[in-house]
Homo-oligomer: A and B are copies of this chain.
Amino acid sequence: MPKKEKFKIGIMGCGTVGSGLVKLLRKYSLRKQSPEIEIGKILVRNEKRAVEIASELGLDQSLFCTLATDITENPEIDFVVELMGGVDHTKKLLLEALENGKSIVTANKDLLALEGKDLFETAKKQQQTIMFEAAVAGGIPVIATLKQSLKGNHVTQILGIINGTTNYILDVMKNQNRDFEDVLKQAQELGFAEADPVNDVDGHDAAYKTAILASIISGKRIDVNKVYREGIRNISQNDIRSADKRGYEIKLLGVINNDDDRVDARVHPVFVSKSNPIAGVRLENNAVLIKGDAVQELTLIGKGAGSLPTASSVFGDVLMLASQMQLGENPNPQYVCQHSDYAEIKPIDEVENSFYIRVSMHDKVGVLKAFGELTEKYGANIKFIDQYDASGDQAHADLIFDPIKEKAFNSLIEEMKELESIKAIESVVRVL
């Protein structure tokens, strides 16, 4: 039977997720479940924070420390839960923990996407495990699903709504008929978006998560800087209305295709058909659609952020790690990173996509013919065209193109802009 029934964890950082974890630990211990999990130490910035949090969460002040070594070098602490965020300094602390034989649970997507290599290599050398369920899609168990349940699959595609802030903004833009800047400002006031929104709005956060998922399903390391990235700043009310009229919702997606020698991993807004199970995912919710050769299609929908949902995943990892440590000294082979090479990422130019464009044009004879000649030149096939808003010699048209290599499509767009009949290409959005 299990060798050890009680584990002590060191928690680094006690903000939103950390205090959620403390609350869950308390409820868990009231349910008298096994194994027992106790807080060994909580690392906070300074004494003042320690006093504040201790009183806020009803914890004894002796549990707090301001020196990381009180956790990383503490022989009483079985493993470390990192919820402080940040990259360089945090990496240093976690390497110390690993070198002292402590496995790690972390929710830090930036750290893993940017500095995962050193961390996972050190973990492997030290025979420790790094668990990171909460790093992607908050409360949704996508990492365990990929690493364990779907382990017998070749996963060919992932489509993820993995940034709650942008999904919230797009949803409110649509359902309240408001513009991007306006909704962003409100989201900032409500705390759904950060004061500096670049990380969310320009797709950096989604790119980190996409890189992590792509790494798991490709079995290779992913250079996050090679993940193509486009945010939602250019999405307008007109785009949203056109999408709606044509049977689509606009979502910022992490897209991964893993059916080729080169991994196609990117983040950008997409027209998603309303019949797709992720199209209806509203507000700050997240969703991950996984295609595998065995499971066919699996969709997971839930809370992508927030104190308790994120702590739910962190705590799931804590309990999984504890149960593995009950089994023996070795790290769980399903969670040991086996990657050694970097994946070759398919450059965006060579990716084939379907596209929506909205054109404003002079409504006169010959427009269609000029269009037709150009599309033929680039081998582009128009799947759908609808002209509307005609008044005087002005009109708008929505076009949807069948999949075409991005490079050819961009050249087509450049030439289209030069056509006499075209006033402007008002919008270009990829279509799933």
Contacts and interface: CB of A to CB of B under 8 A. Distances in A.
A149 interface: yes
A273 interface: no
Interface in A266-312: 277, 280-281, 292-303, 306, 308-309, 311-312
Interface string A90-112: 00000000000000000000000
Contact of A332 (B20, B300, B303, B323): B323
Which secondary structure dominates chain A's binding surface? Answer: mixed
A1 interface: yes
A89 B401 CA distance: 59
A184 to B, nearest CB: 25
Contact of A323 (B133, B295, B299, B334): B334
A329 to B, nearest CB: 8
Nearest to A281: B277
Given A154-B31, A333-B35, A302 B312 contact: no
Contacts of A303: 295-298
Contact of A327 (B139, B149, B324): B324
B280 A294 contact: no
B277 A295 contact: no
Interface stretch (A63-71, A221-229, A313-321, A416-424): A313-321
Interface residues of A, number: 60
A338 interface: yes
A377 to B, nearest CB: 41
A281 B20 CA distance: 32
A330 B150 contact: no
A294 B139 CA distance: 8
Contact of A34 (B133, B281, B326, B338): B338
Interface in A19-42: 20, 24, 27-28, 31, 33-35
Contact of A292 (B133, B148, B312, B330): B312
A35 B336 CA distance: 12
Nearest to A277: B301
Contacts of A154: 27, 31
A1 to B, nearest CB: 7
A301 B287 CA distance: 11
A302 to B, nearest CB: 4
Contact of A153 (B297, B312, B323, B334): B312
5 contacts: A34-B333, A139-B296, A296-B303, A299-B300, A323-B333
Top 8 closest pairs, chain A to chain B, by CB: A152-B315, A141-B149, A328-B328, A294-B312, A298-B302, A295-B312, A139-B295, A149-B316
